[in-house]
Structure 1
Amino acid sequence: MRNTLNPVCVPLALAEFTEAHRRRIVDALLAISILCFTIPPTLLGLSFSLWGPVPQWIEIVIEVITAGALLIRRRTGLPMIVTSALCAVTTGQIVPMAFAAYSMTADSKIRKWQLVTLPLIMTAAAVDYVDPKTDDVLYLCVVRALVFIFMPALVGTWVRGYRGMISELRAEVRDREEQAAVRERRKIARELHDTVTHAVTVMVLNAGIIRDDADPETGRIATTIEDKGVQALAELRELLAVLRREDGSRMTAGAKAIPSLVEEAAATGTRVSLDYHLPDIGLPAQIGLACYRVVQEGLSNVRKHAPGSLVRVTCEARDGVVTVSVVNGRDEGRARMSLQRLLPPSGFGLAGLEERIAILDGRLERKGTPDGGFMLVARIPFHPAGAQAADDLAYDPADADEAADGESA
């Protein structure tokens, strides 16, 4: 049988892969560009060093190390700064230093970046002055070094500020959406209390009056009506409590409540294991709540559709992305079919979960596994609050203003 591939699925899968690994792809392309810019002059014999001829293989090794240091520039900027300066004095290539100057202000946590740019500028000026293909006017070499090193660093501070502003705006929008949802829940609760609850209460009271004054047969019917009305009132009170609680206990607990949720599922007979690696601090409250909802919905679906299967819950945060997965194997028992017949169909749980994840710029995957099971995976980007606080301590926007004033002067 011929295997046909849906042409629509290929671009979608490629777009999802690109979005999930965007930063790594960008860093890999930058590293490749560094190699393409530095290695050909070395192979053509156009490179030079400040202290005389250097073996070609040494130059290539230094250039490869410099490109590799670019791959970790988002974690720390020091390796790329050192390797780019070494590459400049060894091969005469100062382009990697421009990347290092930009990365140390846009991505890394270097406190006084102006002081770090001074040796880079001196190195670039010295390489430019010794370069046989350029003029030997020291003033012009210093000016070119300032433009080539200081300007990328200054642009990095602007990019950093822009990213921070976007993050603050997104957080503000999410807070407003959450507040709007809370107000809507309160409005629904008021309407239920003022209309439905009042009408049911009157019905129960009238049924009690009929029961006391009517014949036995009519009294039995009135008693049934009264019991059903009392039951409806109890359910309405529970619904009102849910609408007014604003997810208080679970909102404060967030991801920290996932282990207790898994323990509750295990206590009810679900064969579940937990692999939990989320940070104790730094995880935003809305993302923590979304992680909790993913696990809650996944375990609920397992109990409904595959109660006899083995379930594995995984929670981890890596490279600025929180990944939460609930994976269950195939249910070999017969309880699944009977339980499906007993439970009413819903279908709103996963739809609501997708909306919750989409608000946080994440995505939710739900698909079958090769062994006949099912997997629910949520990936949510985040910026740790602790890291943001550390950035604020390590980076002072006033430094950029002072640098800009100095440049203008």
Structure 2
Amino acid sequence: MPTTAAPRPHRDDVLIAAAGLAGGLLMWTLGLYTYSGNQPRGGDAWLSLLPLTAMAGCELLRRTAPRFALVAGTLVLSADFAIGSLLVTVLMFTDLVYAAVLYGPKRLIRVVPVASVLSTAAVTATALVLRPVADSLLIGIVGALVSVAPAFTGVVVRQHRDEAAAERLRAEQTALLAEMDRREAVGTERARMARELHDMVAGHLSAIAIHSTAALSLDRRDGPAREALSVIRENSVQGLSEMRRLIGLLRDASGGESGPAAVPRLHSLDVLLDQMASAAPHARFVLRDERPADAPPPPAPVELAAYRIVQESLTNALKHAAPGEVPVVLEQDAGVLTVTVASPWATAGADGRPGPRAPGSGSGLIGMRERTELLGGTFEAGRHGDVWRVRAALPVKGEA
């Protein structure tokens, strides 16, 4: 069976461990211990190097395995106090507490500060029983500096980092939405211009070309009038050709075809979901087509309305939903096509999830409701537990 290689220590962790080991060796050489009460004597002086080396090894795991490094470091620190404590060993333990809160699982944010406070209180209470009050208070202060202070420092730093990451994500999503809105607005305007040119200007040019051709066919006599009609016809035909080329350019630039735009179909929803997925890395769009295989295709107006409802619902999910799965379900039964889109409800506050990434005006829901009611269907949208659900039932038979 293939085995997964253990993650390599981070470069900064290697430097910290090496610096701690070198500093501890220097202090050991000079005989600088944390306090003289348990300083090893004679040939046992080398024993204090064992906790120093083990603590340096724990520093190598401060980022890749912070929980294990903290537990092992706590045991090593106990041995260090029993054998002969070096200040560098204690300082490296404080870094392990800080790193466990900063890089460890989120559960450690709650566990480590509480455990550090309780352990410091327990050590202080024990010292009050065994030692004078002044010494006990000093022990409590040192314990707080060794465990409580780095734990709460790690909590503050991690909270700031998480907030900064959330703000960066929010800014990126807002910029992405703004760019999508800009492109959509430009494409819509180009398409409108192409329609106007096709329906009005090109129509007038076509009429001029047709009538000038008819006039030339009726009057075959040479003269200024015929020459003028020939110029009119030639320029109108040339202008019409240029106008068609311009219309094609506008439609191509707006993402359409050079010919008449096709009505979106439900079978192209997978393409729409892929486009939305590329713009929303925080969401997973899933299409579930549960219509019977022998179900007749819906009429074009119904299919267009269903496509637009899904498109608007996905856009709303991109703007407002929390990270998670967004299923799009199509059902057809008893002459009714049902479209359902559910997205995770985004709230800001106690649960830690971010709020909406962009403000909404509510016009999207109004548009979807109007599309549905124009076809004689029913529309509902609202929160159901932890999801926001949009559901439209469109009749595929009868008056629709």
TM-score under structure 1 length normalisation: 0.45
Larger Rg, first or second structure (1 or 2):
2
TM-score under structure 2 length normalisation: 0.46
- Structure of higher RCO (CA pairs closer than 8 Å, 6+ residues apart): 1
